[in-house]
Chains A and B, each alone.
Chain A
Amino acid sequence: MKVNHHLIFDMKKKYWKQNLIYLRILLTVWFICSFGFGILMAEYLNNFYLGGFPLGFWFAQQGSIYIFVILIFIYVYLMNKLDEKYDLKE
């Protein structure tokens, strides 16, 4: 029984660690695309064009929002798989 208990504890620890890795990666992308491309680097990116959009302006008013949506759906996909792998699905 004791061994089993430890095993579950170990598994849960791994699950949480993997979750934190996902969070770190996705939130880095979140920060770079909005605060980076949309604000801090926007002036430089405005030298490039996407159709009629200066690129920095596009990230600030369109691109960052699309990326936010995509990030959430990626997270949902990753976590649903992780839940199944560690048998933590409700």
Chain B
Amino acid sequence: MDSQFWTYLLVGITFTIYIGIAIWTRAKSTKEFYIAGAGINPVLNGMATAADWMSAASFLSMAGLISVLGYGGSQYLMGWTGGYVLLALCLAPYLRKFGKFTVPDFIGERYYSSSARLIALICAIFISFTYVVGQMKGVGVAFSRFLEIPFESGVIIGIGIVFFYAVLGGMKGITYTQVAQYCVLIFAFTVPAIYISLQATGNPIPQVGFGSKTMDGVYLLEKLNQLSVELGFEKYTDINRTTLINVFFITAALMFGTAGLPHVIVRFFTVPKVRDARISAGWALLFISILYTTAPAVAAFAKVNLINTVSNARYADVPDWFKNWENTGLLQFDDKNQDGVIQYVADSQINELTVDPDIIVLANPEIANLPAWVVGLIVAGGLAAALSTAAGLLLVISTSISHDLLKKNLNPKISEKGELWAARIAIAVAVIGAGLAGLNPPGFVAEVVALAFGLAASSFFPAIILGIFDKRMNKEGAISGMIVGILFTAIYIFYFKPQLGGPGTPDNYLFGISPEGIGTIGMFINFIIAIIVSRFTKPTPERIKQLVENIRYPK
């Protein structure tokens, strides 16, 4: 049986499970629709958070990026995990105690201001929407590459599935589907990794395997360093001193951004108690770390395999997968010196092979000669990762509209039933909107995912932290901090992104910080402005001080 058959079978089975869960977990109240009735078991919430968090990019692209960047890829590994420590220690328990539905809810009440709520709600929608479009595109790509279904039909199938369980079940349906999706994606990611680790080093644990010796008695990483040097690349494990400051700032922006992303924060509203919110963040990071510690191992194994297979191989002798992936354009061979041999080297004048990083995860099973069903598993896993993240983001968009905008701003007298219907309509519109944008993604979308983290770090993170830890923080301080922080970050990103029409060049970076890392500076600016302004304006009202006092204690 070929991989096509397995892909259809595994994708079919997993989709049936998601639909089954949706029918079983219909939401009956707004509380169920927004925060799953605050009744989710903390371990299950940890799994759901992990699936919510790990997107198509984590699953399909990250290992490939690391294998290209070597040590430089560490910024994604630390940046996309370290934020959970901040979440668990500084945000989740207090926001759970606060006990409302959304992040704009917290900002609006804590800063006793509907303009603060409005700013927060615009940020939440913008961040979530740019993020979700990328996921929809990922769904289309996975379908079109593996099932020979046109890209557009792939996106439409994806929309259909998410539509079904998000509109029906709201947060409740999304949570239980995400639990299933976590199981699918983690199984799909680790199984090939275990195979490859066994093949290369005889050790079944990839995390240990990539620090072990290969069959010829040389440490794998040492071998990789040697191969890289021979081909003219930098050593894989070496640290490039000139970019180190940038690595520092990008790591920080991703961490603080993680702790400020509304679709992650809102997951901690779904557990019953404060202590559950704390432990749930622990479970979430544990589940996430399984993928995040496996990915660098996959990156190293795949790079060795790739170099061994293609470097100086005769083009006539390359395995089938090479030609298959050439057809997709992800692998390009240009025989510059017409010798019929593949030169894969650092020097771009001589190099004849262009490798898209995505191929590392996608083609890994074929490169390592794994059984056909593993390929099907990878596709099902990639779809699970994309769909689970998309659903979480769409819920943030819909609650922002039905709860924060409609209920809290436009029509406070709306009935519970009316609000639930509004939420359903909002999520339906959001799903379709995201799908349409995914079909025809505006050119800037890929670029603005970096923007999402920068904006979250420079807007929400300081506003929430100060809201909890600084009683004197007032609305004037918080609002001016958020506005200046966001504007600074957004302008810097637009200025230095040629893809967005910006005129800036890397030579003019502030302290050598690229747009991906500037959110860290934006965050500090936000903190400083907020604190200064708050000390020169009217003090916080007594009832708000009471509110802050109240969220600091579990009881």
Contact = CB atoms under 8 A, between A and B. Distances in A.
B55 interface: no
B278 interface: yes
Contacts of B278: 72, 75-76, 79
Nearest to A58: B211
A65 B239 contact: no
A61 B275 contact: no
B89 A26 contact: yes
A60 B285 contact: no
A80 B275 contact: yes
Interface in A15-59: 15-16, 19, 23, 26-27, 30, 34-35, 38-40, 42-43, 46, 50-54, 56-58
Nearest to A62: B293
Interface stretch (B109-117, B217-225, B397-405): B217-225
- Give the secondary structure class of B's interface: helix
B216 to A, nearest CB: 13
Contact of A52 (B73, B78, B212, B296): B212
B74 interface: yes
B223 to A, nearest CB: 9
Nearest to A29: B85
Contact of A38 (B74, B85, B88): B74
Nearest to B224: A52
Give chain B's interface residue range (CB within 8 Å of chain A): 35 or more
Contact of A62 (B90, B207, B219): B207
Contacts of A60: 71, 74, 77-78
Interface string B185-214: 000000000000000000000011011110
Contacts of B24: none
A72 B285 contact: yes
Given A27-B89, A83-B275, A52 B282 contact: no
| Most chain B beta-carbon contacts within 10 A, residue among A40, A71, A76 | A76
B89 A75 contact: yes
B292 A88 contact: no
A39 to B, nearest CB: 5
A61 B549 CA distance: 39
Contacts of A69: 282, 285-286, 289
B220 A52 contact: yes
B552 interface: yes
Contacts of B89: 23, 26-27, 71-72, 75
A12 B77 contact: no
Given A69-B285, A72-B285, A83-B275, A34 B237 contact: no
Given A43-B239, A72-B88, A88 B282 contact: no
Contact of A68 (B81, B241, B273): B81
Contact of B279 (A12, A30, A76): A76
Interface of A: 12, 15-16, 19, 23, 26-27, 30, 34-35, 38-40, 42-43, 46, 50-54, 56-58, 60-62, 64-66, 68-69, 71-73, 75-76, 79-80, 83, 87-90
8 contacts: A46-B238, A60-B77, A61-B73, A64-B81, A68-B85, A68-B285, A72-B282, A90-B555
Given A30-B82, A75-B278, 20 more contacts: A12-B553, A16-B552, A23-B90, A38-B78, A40-B248, A43-B244, A51-B212, A51-B219, A53-B237, A54-B221, A57-B221, A57-B239, A61-B77, A62-B293, A65-B292, A66-B289, A68-B85, A69-B286, A71-B89, A88-B554
Sort A-B residue pairs by CB-CB distance and give the 6 closest, nearest first: A52-B219, A60-B74, A72-B282, A61-B296, A57-B237, A51-B211
